Amino acid sequence: MSLVGYHGYKSPADLESMKDGLRPTEGGEGNHDPNWQGFYLAATAQDAAGYAGNGDGTGAGGVVRVTLPDGVTVETVKKEDVNVTGDTEHDGEQLRKLKEKLGIDPTEHLMDALGSRNTVLQVTVPGNGGTRSVEEIIVPWQIAEHATVQQVIGFADTLRGSAAAADYVATGTRPSDRDAPFWDLADIAGTDHLSPPAAPPAPQPADGEASGSTADAGHPYSHDEL
């Protein structure tokens, strides 16, 4: 089963570049630290829209749905265990512990090592009632280069489009066609998210046939193959 996430883009040129294939750009796309260089995905289109503004508030790009190749595995970490603070000693110790936990040689770059394992890094944050929710998935470039990209939202490159993107992030309400002329989320009624789609319902037993037990599907993310 393929893993899906979302990425906000800032301009039509960015969109065309991604449609041609996801590739790192000069300077370390995704992060300046070689350990964290990769392609970053948000859990939902709504979250990804927060990165669609063009930077000066005069317009916005949109959101793409990114489908990773089959067979990708997932390692899950808590954001508070990997949050980069700018304190060299603190951040270095966090990274050392993470590599040790994942069985990665301390001299290897984190994302390069995960990419060689066909593994992405899922970052979670505290949610309601003691639960945790997915904030982002960091995809090593070795994997991202084989992903497929599909536009799902295109905001107007105007002041109204910029405001519409911000409002969508805050409320989840679909903007007007004028402010977001391209919208392809109707198939999932605005609920599309990082988790793989639910399995189809089990067939009903025939008359007189006992119903079997249903196994717990468990959490959609694990170290097993998706």
pTM for this prediction? 0.78
CB 153 within 8 A of CB 180: yes
The closest of 51, 73, 176 to 117, measured between CA atoms, is: 73
Residues listed for the chain? 226
* Selected residue with higher pLDDT from 67 and 33: 67
Delimit the domains of the chain by residue range: 4-188
Contacts of 142 (CB under 8 A, 6+ apart): 112, 115, 116
Single-letter residue type at 134: V
Helix (H, G, I), strand (E, B), or coil: what is residue 179?
coil
pLDDT at 209: 46
- 129-171 per-position pLDDT tens digit: 889 999 999 999 999 999 999 999 999 999 999 999 999 999 9
Q: Topology of 4-188 in CATH?
A: Diphtheria Toxin; domain 1 (3.90.175)
Q: What is the pLDDT of residue 204?
A: 54
* DSSP run (H or E) holding 90: helix 88-102
More confident residue, 196 or 3: 3
Q: Are 45 and 65 in contact (CB under 8 A)?
A: yes
pLDDT of residue 2: 80
State what percent of residues in the chain have pLDDT above 90.
65
